[in-house]
Amino acid sequence: MGQDQNIPGELLSRLTRFGRVVLLDTVLSTNDHALSLKPGHEPAVVVARHQTRGRGRFRRPWYSDDESLTFSLLLSKETPGLPRAGMIAHVAGLALCNAIEKATGLKPLIRWPNDVMHRDQKLAGILCEGRGSAVAVGVGLNVNQTAFPDGVHDAGSLRTATGRDWDRFELLEGFLEEMLGLLAEAGKGETAGLLSALKERSAVLNRRVEVATLLRRHVGTVIDLDSEGRIVLRTDAGRLVVLGAGQVRRLR
């Protein structure tokens, strides 16, 4: 087990108030591990020091190392009022931004759909995947890295953004507190506040962007985020396009 996985007992017991906690040294992917757990014990959190086959959106490999916080939160789809998977990923982006801001004072934004950004650097990625009655919210947060390997573009860490180290498990605790709080609000149907918070955290709203989808590339200005978490784009040709998935690049 890596040095930082030796989590102090007091912090571990604080984490267990959110649900079952599984601490692992090396795993293929925390999402796969979480989704293989016997159902009925959600929420559960699977944290790993090292992933050998971590993956990102569009099945891209996901880079992480001992300085990252790498985990999956497993939720039951049967939780009353649980938003659909796409929306859960947006909520996770918001929860992560809130937790980072509370801990560090940074004001990260969400590059739609759910990359957590500080300035033009990606601090964290989120991948939500469902299987059977469960959904895994996988989060990779760059915490104390001072540099990234060649080929990992536009990445930053809390350390590069603030000049100091941060405790990964305290950040995890902050995330779980925010996330489960926001999901409880959504479960009570209080979604208007959630949507306006998502809009405030958006790095793309009212910005000119290029969006690559599986089928084509759109260039235009994001004029809204709808209640399903889709972006409404006014293309340069004047058409309105509503997109539920894609890869966004901000244009100057």
- Contact positions toward ligand BTN, by CB under 6 A? 29-31, 51, 54-57, 60, 62, 70, 72, 115, 125-127, 138-140
56 or 187, CB closer to ligand BTN? 56
What CA–CA distances, in Å, run from 193 to 28, 151, 227, 240? 37, 38, 11, 25
Nearer Cβ to ligand BTN (96/126): 126
CB atoms within 10 A of CB 146: 9
Pick 60 or 236: Cβ nearer ligand BTN = 60
Q: What angle do CA 145, 151, 157 make, to 5 degrees?
A: 20
Region of residue 89 (phi > 0: left; psi between -120 and 50: alpha; otherwise: beta): alpha
Chain centre distance of CA 63: 15
- Point out the residue whose Cβ comes nearest to ligand BTN: 125
Q: Least distance to ligand BTN from the beta carbon of 10, Å?
A: 25
Give least dist CB 48 to ligand BTN, A: 8
Q: What is the nearest approach in angstroms of ligand BTN to the Cβ of residue 137?
A: 9
Q: How far is the CB of 199 from ligand BTN (least distance, A)?
A: 21
Cβ–Cβ under 8 Å, residues 139 and 124: yes
Alpha-carbon distance of 90 to 227, in angstroms, equals 11
What contacts 247, CB < 8 A, 6 or more positions away?
57, 58, 211, 212, 213
CB of 185 to ligand BTN, least distance (A): 24
Residue closer to ligand BTN by CB (options 61, 81) is 61
- Cβ atoms of 82 and 183 within 8 Å: the answer is yes
Q: Which is nearer to ligand BTN, 72 or 104 (CB)?
A: 72
Pick between residue 60 and residue 249 the one whose CB is nearest to ligand BTN: 60
- CB nearer to ligand BTN: give 65 or 177: 65
What is the number of other CB atoms lying within 10 angstroms of the CB of residue 221? 16
Q: Least distance from C-beta 106 to ligand BTN, angstroms?
A: 18
How far is residue 229's CA from residue 252's CA, in Å, rounded to a whole number?
A: 24
User: Smallest distance, Å, CB 235 to ligand BTN?
Assistant: 25
